[in-house]
């Protein structure tokens, strides 16, 4: 694929920050305790806390070595990314007592964090045969559903009543790639993941604008100091051929590495939909001194994903006879290339003082050429195909993030404090054939797909944008008593967007935005491993993807939101059981709605959307034979003040449910070791009905999806697995790229895999 290069930026921004922290803390003693649719938006041109550091150099070296080793299954993902060789069921899936970086920069565990944080280990993902990030999150994490489509890159989530990349952020190893035109294309495969961490509720205080609903953070496999080699091959009934390898270990006493790679080719489950992808993750860690380490990593993805844009409804209903029809052209193309290079520095300056820096260069090149919209015509009985779209994205992001952590005492109370800055420069080039002309008609069945014909609109440069962003952030944990902790944080973001429109120079502009997010929470631990918490948090979301704002959005500020959350978490029975319960209320303000006195004029930023609900999770290892995991999320999401112009008239949607938001979601998994070296598992994912339009006139039905698997380990190094996805061959819709067009999920599929460690 040839992607047109982006114009060189006309200016570059630099930020020099100096943060004086020593006056805030006395680290003399270290604590002992620790848009309207999910499709592409550009188609519309408008470490554990407070642990005492060892004094001796040898002890410090040993401590650092353990940081690179995989954690046991009882606490986090293992390095191998597969279930342990033992026939005993893996530990429960909540991982409340292991540090999770996604909810705090202080290295707090989910039990210590006043928020809903969940860790999905590589062992759990592998045992359940979840090859995609989308499946791993939605089939394991409480309250998460997916709204994938070829137009949004296939990585779009919904949680707590908010959907899409503007409200639910995807990160890789704690770094975000700024979303352009509603599209996220990396990371996508779980083989290279050590674990996936999710946080439900506002996360802007951690990662900036665009995370009022929550975040998904994919943590890659890290260099390890013990040799490990692994390979896996699999084949399924859709002729999906998968090959994966993983290798890690020491190069010398001070240098370790990790390389994980996977490749897939498939015939797909609809007509004419061959796909392929490659993902490679490589990292080298250098222990330069007892208190200084560097890690250089590079992660690469090359995807030719599904070109199936959905099945058109016939008179408003789904005709299952069309289940395997693909109405795209013979020569349709989609391809994504992503590359992430990161350099990390970890420096323990002194006891209680540490500095971390991550500098990164990220790129993404994307290309679409296809027909995306299909509509049934009752008069002719034909399918009308329109939106002949060709689009190129060329995006780069250069950034650095630095923070300083101090652990000690303040006014006699144990305290942990971190502060830092985040600087980014993002360039984005958009090339397309807008206004996407073209119209053809084909029969429901037995048709010639044709070719992507030339239209009256050639593919030419559309617009470029240069975004300079900086942020300042801080977080603090103050131990008021041995059982009561105050956890707070604040972040200030200041992005400036400069857009140059090649087609319509009058649409060029420059705008600066700003947003401040903060949170404050209490965690009360009356007994060990039982925590009650309460939190108040604020967040900001853009009115459109920040780096691709258009001229109609240039004068709007960031939408604001707030959340109140209370909950309880517990790890019991020696870690064999864990449970959580949370209740929340979220309100998002400053949505765009038309001006009722001037429908043709600019919108007003006065709308409001809200959501309230409860979430519960349970993980229980009953004995050496049985493990049970389950979660449920119930919510009431609605538009409080929202309207739109339909047919030249103002329509009020207040009280309606936001589109792509199910109000009941649940998962349940059972694992049974029924004989030595044999185990079976089965899981059900329940997703409630949801609407595909703000008017709540088009509803996608609820569904329950059942998956099952059988595993045999003839020896400690070999695992043979047979899995059946969608066991009862349910016909269901995972998303709606357009309101009258449903993207159907995979039919019943059987997969056989062999994994070997050596």
Q: What is the pLDDT confidence band of residue 91, given thresholds at 50, 70 and 90? A: low
User: Could you read off the pLDDT of 360-373 as tens digits, one per residue?
Assistant: 999 999 999 999 99
Q: What is the mean pLDDT of residues 390-406?
A: 97
Residue 445 has pLDDT above 70, yes or no: yes
Q: Tokens representing 589?
A: 């303000």
Q: What is the pLDDT confidence band of residue 504, given thresholds at 50, 70 and 90? A: confident
Residue 44 has pLDDT above 70, yes or no: no
Q: What is the pLDDT confidence band of residue 40, given thresholds at 50, 70 and 90? A: low
Q: What is the mean pLDDT of residues 522-527?
A: 98
Which has more pLDDT, 619 or 41?
Answer: 619
Q: What is the mean pLDDT of residues 28-56?
A: 39
Q: What is the mean pLDDT of residues 254-275?
A: 97
Contact 147, 157 (CB under 8 A): yes
Contact 642, 653 (CB under 8 A): yes
Q: What is the pLDDT confidence band of residue 647, given thresholds at 50, 70 and 90? A: confident
Which has more pLDDT, 253 or 68?
Answer: 253
Contact 325, 444 (CB under 8 A): yes
Residue 756 has pLDDT above 80, yes or no: yes
Look up tokens 């939101």; give the residue: 561
User: Could you read off the pLDDT of 666-681 as tens digits, one per residue?
Assistant: 999 999 999 999 999 9
Tell me what percent of the residues of the chain surpass a pLDDT of 70: 87
Q: What is the dihedral of CA 191, 196, 202, 206, to 10 degrees?
A: -90
Q: What is the mean pLDDT of residues 290-296?
A: 97
Q: What is the mean pLDDT of residues 506-533?
A: 96
Per-residue confidence (pLDDT) for residue 229, from 0 to 100:
97
Q: Which of helix, strand or coil describes residue 451?
A: coil
Residue 21 has pLDDT above 90, yes or no: no
User: Could you read off the pLDDT of 185-216 as tens digits, one per residue?
Assistant: 999 999 999 999 999 999 999 999 999 999 99
Q: What is the dihedral of CA 72, 76, 81, 87, to 10 degrees?
A: 50
Per-residue confidence (pLDDT) for residue 752, from 0 to 100:
98
How far is the C-alpha of 117 from the C-alpha of 113, rounded, in Å? 8
Per-residue confidence (pLDDT) for residue 60, from 0 to 100:
41
> End-to-end CA distance of the chain, in Å?
37
Per-residue confidence (pLDDT) for residue 92, from 0 to 100:
60
CA distances in angstroms from 74 to 34, 557, 600, 668, 757, listed in the order given: 19, 45, 59, 19, 21
DSSP for residue 238: T
pTM of the predicted structure, to 2 decimals:
0.88
Least confident of 32-36, 297-301, 380-384: 32-36
Containing 251, the helix (H) or strand (E) segment is: strand 241-252
Per-residue confidence (pLDDT) for residue 502, from 0 to 100:
82
User: Could you read off the pLDDT of 547-579 as tens digits, one per residue?
Assistant: 999 988 888 999 999 999 999 999 999 999 999
Per-residue confidence (pLDDT) for residue 1, from 0 to 100:
39
Least confident of 3-12, 86-95, 243-252: 3-12
Q: What is the pLDDT confidence band of residue 393, given thresholds at 50, 70 and 90? A: very high
Contact 693, 659 (CB under 8 A): yes
Tell me what percent of the residues of the chain surpass a pLDDT of 90: 80
Q: What is the pLDDT confidence band of residue 110, given thresholds at 50, 70 and 90? A: very high
- Domain 41-757: state its class: mainly beta
How far is the C-alpha of 108 from the C-alpha of 518, rounded, in Å? 18
Bridge partners (DSSP) listed for residue 533: 523, 567
Look over the chain and give the mean of its residue pLDDT values, rounded to a whole number. 88
């Amino acid at each position: 694929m040839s992607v047109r290069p982006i114009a060189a930026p006309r200016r570059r921004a630099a930020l020099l920050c100096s943060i004086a922290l020593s006056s805030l803390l006395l680290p003399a003693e270290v604590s002992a305790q620790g848009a309207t649719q999910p499709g592409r938006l550009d188609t519309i041109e408008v470490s554990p806390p407070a642990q005492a550091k060892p004094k001796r150099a040898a002890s410090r070296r040993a401590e650092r070595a353990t940081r690179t080793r995989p954690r046991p299954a009882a606490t986090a993902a293992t390095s191998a990314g597969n279930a342990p060789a033992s026939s005993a069921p893996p530990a429960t899936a909540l991982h409340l007592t292991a540090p999770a970086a996604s909810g705090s920069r202080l290295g707090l565990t989910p039990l210590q964090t006043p928020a809903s944080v969940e860790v999905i280990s590589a062992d759990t993902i592998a045992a359940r045969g979840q090859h995609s990030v989308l499946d791993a999150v939605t089939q394991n994490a409480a309250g998460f559903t997916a709204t994938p489509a070829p137009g949004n890159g296939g990585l779009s989530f919904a949680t707590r009543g908010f959907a899409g990349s503007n409200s639910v952020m995807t990160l890789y190893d704690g770094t975000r790639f700024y979303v352009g035109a509603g599209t996220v294309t990396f990371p996508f495969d779980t083989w290279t993941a050590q674990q996936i961490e999710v946080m439900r509720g506002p996360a802007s205080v951690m990662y900036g604008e665009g995370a009022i609903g929550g975040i998904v953070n994919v943590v890659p496999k890290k260099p390890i100091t013990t040799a490990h080699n692994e390979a896996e091959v699999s084949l399924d009934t859709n002729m999906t051929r998968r090959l994966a390898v993983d290798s890690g270990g020491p190069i010398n006493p001070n240098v370790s590495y990790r390389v994980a790679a996977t490749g897939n080719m498939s015939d797909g489950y609809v007509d004419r939909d061959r796909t392929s992808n490659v993902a490679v993750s490589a990292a080298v860690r250098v222990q330069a001194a007892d208190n200084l380490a560097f890690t250089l990593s590079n992660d690469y993805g090359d995807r030719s994903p599904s070109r199936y844009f959905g099945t058109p409804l016939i008179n408003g209903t789904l005709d299952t006879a069309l289940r395997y029809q693909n109405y795209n052209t013979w020569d349709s193309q989609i391809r994504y290339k992503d590359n992430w290079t990161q350099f990390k520095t970890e420096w323990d300056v002194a006891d209680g003082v540490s500095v971390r820096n991550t500098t990164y260069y990220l790129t993404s090149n994307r290309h679409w050429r296809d027909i995306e919209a299909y509509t049934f015509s009752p008069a002719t009985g034909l399918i009308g195909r329109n939106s002949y779209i060709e689009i190129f994205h060329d995006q780069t992001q250069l950034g650095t993030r630095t923070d300083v952590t101090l652990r000690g005492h303040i006014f006699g109370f144990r305290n942990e404090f971190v502060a830092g800055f985040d600087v980014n420069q993002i360039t984005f080039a958009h090339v397309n054939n807008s206004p996407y002309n073209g119209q053809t008609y084909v029969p429901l069945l037995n048709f010639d797909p044709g070719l992507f014909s030339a239209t009256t609109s050639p593919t030419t440069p559309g617009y470029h944008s240069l975004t300079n962003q900086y942020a300042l952030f801080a977080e603090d944990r103050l131990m008021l008593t041995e059982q009561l902790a105050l956890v707070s944080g604040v972040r200030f973001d200041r992005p400036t967007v400069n857009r140059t429109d090649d087609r319509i120079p009058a649409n060029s502009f420059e705008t600066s935005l700003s947003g401040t997010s903060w949170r404050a929470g209490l965690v009360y631990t009356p007994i060990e491993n039982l925590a009650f918490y309460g939190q108040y948090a604020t967040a900001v979301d853009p009115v459109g993807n920040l780096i691709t704002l258009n001229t109609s959005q240039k004068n709007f500020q960031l939408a604001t939101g707030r959340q109140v959350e209370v909950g309880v978490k517990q790890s019991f029975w020696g870690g064999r059981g864990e449970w959580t319960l949370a209740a929340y209320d979220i309100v998002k303000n400053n949505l765009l709605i038309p001006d009722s006195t001037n429908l043709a004029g600019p919108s007003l930023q006065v709308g409001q959307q809200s959501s309230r609900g409860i979430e519960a999770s349970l993980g229980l290892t009953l004995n050496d034979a049985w493990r049970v995991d389950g979660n449920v999320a119930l919510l009431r999401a609605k538009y409080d003040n929202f309207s739109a112009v339909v047919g030249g008239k103002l329509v009020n949607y207040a009280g309606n449910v936001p589109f792509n938001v199910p109000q009941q979601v649940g998962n349940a998994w059972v694992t049974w070791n029924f004989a030595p070296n044999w185990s079976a598992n089965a899981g059900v994912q329940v997703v409630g009905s949801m609407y595909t339009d703000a008017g709540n006139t088009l509803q996608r039905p609820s569904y329950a999806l059942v998956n099952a698997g059988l595993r045999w380990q003839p020896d400690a190094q070999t695992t043979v697995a047979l899995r059946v996805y969608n066991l009862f061959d349910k016909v269901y819709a995972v998303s709606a790229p357009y309101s009258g067009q449903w993207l159907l999920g995979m039919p019943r599929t059987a997969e056989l895999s062999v994994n070997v460690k050596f």
